[in-house]
Amino acid sequence: MPRFIVITGTDTGAGKTVLTALLARHLRDKGVNVAALKPLCSGGREDARLLRTAARADLALDEVNPWHFRAPLAPIVAARREKRSVNLREVVAHIRNIARRFDLVLVEGAGGLLSPLGKQFSTRELIAALSGSDVLIAARNQLGVVNHVRLTMEALPPIVASRAKVVLMSPPRSDDASESNVELLAEFLPADHIVVFPRFQKAGDLDHILKQSRVRRALDALLR
């Protein structure tokens, strides 16, 4: 059976796509047969294109991202504007069909954990449907992140939350909050479930970012 890792976030723009792309490229470099999927997106498809490039898998863009909608809104709202709908069963079926060809599948959600994706489901329900999947929660390492992380963890089923890892995406410049967040979060979560991602300038330049040994160490910590 392939391994599934679902990448969600505390909010839109938390760093899910960059994290997923870096994981995909890092795993490929290690010889893992990996796919990176973003089943639903709205607005542009740049995120899906980045994942396709990063994984270097033999997948068409419509396999990486089968449901895409024009309006830059929550996927369920954007879909309704086009008189379309998506249900959880068909999303899971697509993911499992792709997974037959790979050893590990990265699945990126859209928006935060509870952002509505389709008819009566969010990334939380997708995680539950992909039973046994590992979960990574991307979060901006700034003031307020402790609250956002705790709320996200509370929304996960307890057994999933106990395995989930939090990835603090570092801002361009650190401040007192970003320096203290790890210590404060460790009062509520196991310390080894918190990984701080080093800051970098060009999010799309994966090869340049992965030259940093700190980045590769952070990625390895997430895969344990």
Active-site positions read: 38
Residues with Cβ < 8 Å from 200, sequence gap 6 or more? 208, 209, 212, 215
Q: Which residues contact 6 (CB under 8 A, 6 or more apart)?
A: 107, 108, 109, 123, 126, 127, 130, 133, 134, 135, 136
Q: Give the count of alpha carbons within 13 A of 81, CB side only.
A: 13
User: Which one, of 138, 121, 117, 150, lies nearest residue 9 by Cα?
Assistant: 138
Distance CA 133, CA 107 (A): 10
Q: Give dist(CA 223, CA 134) in Å, integer.
A: 9
